[in-house]
Amino acid sequence: MVDLAGKNVLVLGLGISGRSAANFCARRGARVIAADEREEAEIGALGEIDPEVSLQLGMPFPDPDIFDLVVPSPGVPAERYRDGAHRVWGDVELAFRHLAVPVVAITGTNGKSTTTLLVEAMLRAAGLRARAAGNVGTPVLDLVGNALDVAVLEVSSFQLETTESFRPRVAAVLNITPDHLDRHGNIEAYARAKARIVANQQSDDTAVLNMDDARVGAFASETKARILPVRCSGPAPGGAWLDAGTAVVTDATGATTRIPLDGMRLSGAHNRENAVFALAIATAAGADPVRAARALTSFAGLPHRGEVVRKVCGVTFIDDSKATNPGAAARAIEGVDGAVVWIAGGRDKGLDFGELAEVVNARVRAAVLIGEATETLAAQLGPDIELRRAESIEAAVEAAAGIAKAGDVVLLAPACASHDQFRDYAERGERFRDAALQWQPKERQT
């Protein structure tokens, strides 16, 4: 635990995690300035901030050199504070120094939110007091002081960049595919940020690593932790693997347990893989795998992640607005049954769409493109794919529904960020949902 009393603390950014960090530090006696370059009307929820926090809004960030500690929000790039700051801890590092329970931390490019919340559900099913936080929405610092047996954290590359001594008892890396290259510059720097999750682990900790992913597998040489390998392409002796519709999981004694996955509420091949990882992580955290697996029959997943919105006239509308990179979009397309009418586009994050194009050209019958990346994506489509362009998500749904035939899936899996037209991926998904629910087949229109 760190004594913050009397320290001068600068919090950068007043989103959810920034407000949480400002309150946390102020309530522990720090002198806190919370800065955001947006105007007050653009921020919202300022009434949640402790009155002892001094706000600096609508102007450039203060000089970090005059503060004992800088706590940047994940969205603030390091170049905004790195040169002048004496000490930088993000909310993950700050929480870790105050949490009195073991930490399970999960990262990866795709699937980490679903896996994190599934691990939470599994640990609870096994009788442990567990709560998930971090990149899933609840600020990490909100867990400090709670009556818990284990804290389950989803951590992003942005959050990992601002860790120092962070040492999870169980760390899991699900996959690494290109994402956020507009922030990290290249895939190597992105992978290095992810690798920080295992860097401080010791021999009595566990690293759950995807050995089907070469970049993740390389992390085994960068940690002192016990490696629990996971594969979905074949056996992983001593670890966990997917085998003919079942998950095989090895516990700390070396005993293996076979868990049927046919009763899962979640659907799709990617969610079976998420389930294998979640069982491996929960088992490494001390849960009985059979009891943990009970969560599979009730866990329904998360909004905007492969969520079935509606079925009408044989057409299924699926919201996967969280598929904000090419890898996630490819998995979304591969995970559905039937021909796909694909809604995609948004803000390009500097990513390569080449591998996604292979999946699209094999599985997609028609595409409706929106946003800034429309022409970039259009250039990737094969000649047999019917192409439409739309100015809004509502127009895209109308166009896609008009193209779709019975048995088709209208799939929102954008492969891009949402910030060209929407507040975030959730707003994009909600507007897709609303449009899908309001759409009426032509024969029913009046």
**Cβ count near 246 (within 10 Å):** 16
- For residue 446, pLDDT over 50 is answered with no
Confidence of residue 445 (pLDDT cuts 50, 70, 90): very low
Q: What is the pLDDT of residues 133-190, one digit of tens each?
A: 998 889 999 999 999 999 999 999 999 999 999 999 999 999 999 888 888 989 999 9
- 233, 212 contact by CB (below 8 A): yes
Residue 146 annotated in active site: no
- Give residue 45's pLDDT: 85
Q: How confident is the model at residue 91 (pLDDT cuts 50, 70, 90)?
A: very high
Distances (CA, A) of 207 to 92, 214, 221, 257, 279: 18, 15, 11, 19, 14
Name all domains of the chain by residue range, CATH numbers in brackets.
Answer: 8-88 (3.40.50.720), 93-297 (3.40.1190.10), 307-438 (3.90.190.20)
Mean pLDDT on 318-336 = 93
pLDDT tier for residue 28 given thresholds of 50, 70 and 90: very high
Position 444 pLDDT exceeds 50:
no
Find the catalytic residue in 23, 112, 271, 304. Answer: 112
CA dist 350 and 328 (Å) reads 15
Phi, psi of 363 (to 5 degrees): -120, -20
Instruction: Give the rounded percent of residues in the chain with a pLDDT score beyond 70.
Output: 99
Q: Does pLDDT of 209 surpass 60?
A: yes
First to last CA, the chain: 66
Q: How far is 54 from 210, CA to CA, in rounded Å?
A: 44
Token pair 């990737």 is at which residue? 380
Rounded to the nearest 10 degrees, the angle between the axes of helix 425-438 and helix 393-403 is 50
According to DSSP, the residues that pair with 131 across neighbouring strands are: 151
Which amino acid belongs to residue 186?
N
Given pLDDT bands bounded at 50, 70 and 90, which one contains residue 230?
very high
Annotated catalytic residue, options 23, 110, 175, 180: 180
Quote helix, strand, coil % in the chain, to nearest 5. Answer: 35, 20, 45
* Least confident span in 29-38, 207-216, 346-355: 346-355
311's tokens: 């079925």
* Range 192-205 average pLDDT: 98
User: 174 Cβ partners below 8 Å, 6+ apart?
Assistant: 106, 107, 108, 109, 110, 111, 112, 115, 210, 216, 274, 277
Q: Decide if pLDDT at 311 tops 50.
A: yes
Shortest CA distance to 434 belongs to which of 390, 398, 386? 398
Query: pLDDT per residue over 243-290, tens digit each?
Result: 988 999 999 899 999 999 999 998 888 899 999 999 999 999 999 999
Report d(CA 192, CA 185) in Å as an integer.
12
Q: What's the whole-model pTM score?
A: 0.88
Angle formed at CA 242 by CA 240 and CA 243, multiple of 5 degrees? 120
Rounded-to-integer distance, Cα 357 and Cα 334, Å: 12
Amino acid identity at 79: E
Identify which has the larger pLDDT, 352 or 123.
123
Q: What is the mean pLDDT of residues 404-415?
A: 97
Task: Say how many residues make up the chain.
Answer: 446
Report residue 276 CA to chain centroid gap.
17
**Structure tokens of 107?**
């990262």
For the chain, the average pLDDT equals 95
Residues 417-442 have a mean pLDDT of 94
> Among 271, 226, 267, 227, which residue's Cα sits nearest to residue 247?
271
* CA angle in degrees (0–180, nearest 5) for 410-413-419: 125
pLDDT digits over 54-64, tens only? 999 999 999 99
Nearest-angstrom CA–CA distance, 71 and 163: 11
Please compute the mean of the pLDDT values over residues 411-421 and round it to a whole number: 96
Catalytic pick among 135, 200, 210, 274: 135
Say whether 210 is catalytic. no
Q: Write out 70-135 in H/E/C secondary structure.
A: EEECCCCCHHHCCCCCCCECCHHHHHHCCCCCCEEEEECCCCHHHHHHHHHHHHHHCCCCEEEEEC
> pLDDT-based confidence at 443, cuts 50/70/90?
low
CA-based torsion, 101, 286, 177, 426: positive or negative: negative
Reported as a single tens digit per residue, the pLDDT across 298-308 is 998 888 988 99
308 and 145 in contact (C-beta within 8 Å)?
no
So what's the pLDDT on residue 400?
Answer: 98
Specify whether 110 is catalytic: no
Helix (H) or strand (E) holding 298: none
